Amino acid sequence: MNTILVEVTTKCLHKCAGCCNHFDGNIEIDYDILSKFLDYARRYCNKLTLCGGDPLLYSKLHDLLEFAKAKDYFISLDTVGYNISEDLDQTIPTVSPRFLSTKVDMLGLCIDGSTNQIAQSFRTNYIDIIDRQLNLLSFLENYKLNICINTVVSKKNYYDLKNIYNLIKNFNNIKKWQLFEFVATGNGYKNRDVYEIADYDNIVDDLLSQIDNSKFLIQKKHKNARSTNYILITPKGTAIIPDPDNNSNIEIGNIKNQSTFDTIIAEILKSNEHRSIYE
Q: Tell me the CA distances in angstroms from 244 to 20, 134, 186, 247, one per residue in order.
A: 9, 32, 9, 4
Minimum distance of ligand SF4 from residue 27's CB (angstroms):
13
To the nearest whole angstrom, how small is the minimum distance from the Cβ of residue 17 to ligand SF4? Answer: 9
Applying CB under 6 A, the span of 50-58, 214-222, 224-232, 243-251 interacting with ligand SF4 comes to 50-58
SS3 per-residue string spanning the chain: CCEEEEECECCCCCCCCCCCCCCCCCCECCHHHHHHHHHHHCCCCCEEEEECCCHHHCCCHHHHHHHHHHCCCEEEEEECCCCECCCCCCCCCCECHHHHHHHCCEEEEECCCCCHHHHHCCCCCCCCHHHHHHHHHHHHCCCCCCEEEEEEECCCCHHHHHHHHHHHCCCCCEEEEEEEECCCCHHHHCCHHHHCCCCHHHHHHHHHHCCCCCCCEEEEECHHHHCCCCCEECCCCEEEEEEHHHCEEEEEEECCCHHHHHHHHHHHHHHHHHHHHCC
Residue 123 lies near ligand SF4 (rule: CB under 6 A):
yes
**To the nearest whole angstrom, how small is the minimum distance from the Cβ of residue 55 to ligand SF4?**
10
Number of residues engaging ligand SF4 in binding (CB under 6 A): 11
- Name the minimum Å distance from CB 56 to ligand SF4: 11
Closer of 53 and 237 to ligand SF4 (Cβ): 53
Which residues between 5 and 24 bind ligand SF4 (CB under 6 A)?
12, 14-16, 19, 21
The CB-of-279 to ligand SF4 minimum distance in angstroms stands at: 20
Q: Is 38 in the site for ligand SF4 (CB under 6 A)?
A: no
Least CB distance to ligand SF4 at residue 23 (A): 8
Binds ligand SF4 by CB under 6 A, chosen from 5, 6, 52, 232 = 52
Q: Which of 64, 65, 80, 264 binds ligand SF4 (CB under 6 A)?
A: 80
Q: Which of 4, 53, 204, 234 binds ligand SF4 (CB under 6 A)?
A: 53
148 binds ligand SF4 (CB under 6 A): no
- Positions that interact with ligand SF4 (CB under 6 A): 12, 14-16, 19, 21, 52-54, 80, 123
